[in-house]
Amino acid sequence: MKLRRQSFLLGAVLFGALLGGYGCKDKAESPSGGGSGDKPGTKTETTTESKGNSVTGDTIKIGEYGSMTGDNSTFGISTDRGIKLAIEEANAAGGIQGKKIELVSEDDASKAEQAKTVVQKLVSSDKVVAVIGEVASSRSMMAAPICQGAKVPMVSPSSTNPEVTRKGDYIFRVCFTDDFQAVVAAQFAFDQGFKNVAIFTDVKSDYSKAFGELFGKKFKSLGGKIASEPTYQSGDVDFKAQLATIKGSNPDAVLIPGYYTEVGTIARQAREVGVSIPLIGGDGWESDQLVPGAGTALEGCFFTNHYFVHDGTVEPHVQKFLDAFSKAYPGKKPGALDALGYDAARVIIEGLRKAKTLDSVALRDAIADTKDYQGISGKITLDKERNARKEALVLKIAGKEFKPFKTYKPEQVGL
Q: CB under 8 Å to 229, separation ≥6 — which residues?
A: 198, 199, 200, 201, 212, 216
Verify cis geometry, omega within 30 degrees of 0, for the bond prior to 102: no
C-alpha to C-alpha distance for 19 and 216, rounded to whole angstroms: 38
Please report how many Cα atoms fall inside a 13 Å half-sphere around the Cα of residue 43, on the Cβ side: 8
Candidate ranges 108-116, 131-139, 356-364, 377-385; the one touching ligand PHE (CB under 6 A) = 131-139
Beta pairing class for 253-255 and 279-281: parallel
Question: Which span (81-89, 134-142, 273-281, 322-330) binds ligand PHE, by CB under 6 A?
Answer: 134-142
**Stretch binding ligand PHE (CB under 6 A), from 133-141, 216-224, 230-238, 249-257:** 133-141
Report in angstroms how near the CB of residue 283 gets to ligand PHE at its nearest: 4
The residue sitting closest to ligand PHE, measured at its beta carbon, is: 207
Of 329-348, which residues contact ligand PHE (CB under 6 A)?
336-337
Q: How far is CA 2 from the centre of its chain?
A: 43
What character string, x for contact with ligand PHE (CB under 6 A) and - otherwise, covers 59-78?
Answer: ----------------x---
- If the CB atoms of residues 68 and 336 are measured against ligand PHE, the closer one turns out to be 336
Residue 136 binds ligand PHE (CB under 6 A): yes
Position 161 contacts ligand PHE (CB under 6 A)? yes
Residue with Cβ nearer ligand PHE (134 or 229)? 134
C-alpha span between 387 and 335 (Å, rounded): 21
Name the 3-class secondary structure at 137: helix
122 sits near ligand PHE (criterion: CB under 6 A): no
CA distance 173 to 380: 10
Neighbour tally for 390: CB within 10 Å: 20
CA atoms within 13 A on the CB side of 233: 2
Residue 329: DSSP 8-state: S
Q: Which is nearer to ligand PHE, 105 or 158 (CB)?
A: 158
CB of 211 to ligand PHE, least distance (A): 8
CB of 306 to ligand PHE, least distance (A): 6
Q: β-pairing, 154-156 with 302-305?
A: unpaired
* Bridge partners for 155 per DSSP: 132, 172
For the chain, the farthest-separated pair of C-alpha atoms sits apart, in whole angstroms, at 72
Q: Write the interaction track for ligand PHE spanning residues 268-287; mark x where CB under 6 A is met and - where it is not.
A: ---------------xx-x-
Taking the least distance from each CB to ligand PHE, the nearer of 90 and 388 is 388
- Cα distance between residue 384 and residue 389, in whole Å: 11
String marking each residue 171-210 x if it binds ligand PHE according to CB under 6 A: ------------------------------------x---
Q: In angstroms, give the least distance from the CB of 365 to ligand PHE.
A: 26
Figure out which of the listed residues 47, 159, 187, 201 binds ligand PHE, where binding follows CB under 6 A: 159
Tell me the C-alpha distance between 175 and 27, whole Å: 28
Closest CA to 70 of 119, 135, 18, 22: 135
- In whole angstroms, the minimum distance from the beta carbon of 157 to ligand PHE comes to 8
Q: How far apart are CA 20 and CA 11, in angstroms?
A: 14
| Nearest to ligand PHE of 21, 282 (CB atom) | 282
Residue 158 contacts ligand PHE per CB under 6 A: yes
Q: Which stretch in 14-22, 100-108, 159-167, 399-407 sits in contact with ligand PHE by CB under 6 A?
A: 159-167
- Number of residues engaging ligand PHE in binding (CB under 6 A): 14
Question: Nearer Cβ to ligand PHE, position 106 or 286?
Answer: 286
Question: Which residue, 55 or 309, has its beta carbon nearer to ligand PHE?
Answer: 309
Q: Which 3 state secondary structure label does DSSP give 321?
A: helix
CA distance linking residue 25 with residue 146, whole number of Å: 7
Give the binding site for ligand PHE (CB under 6 A): 75, 135-137, 158-161, 207, 283-284, 286, 336-337
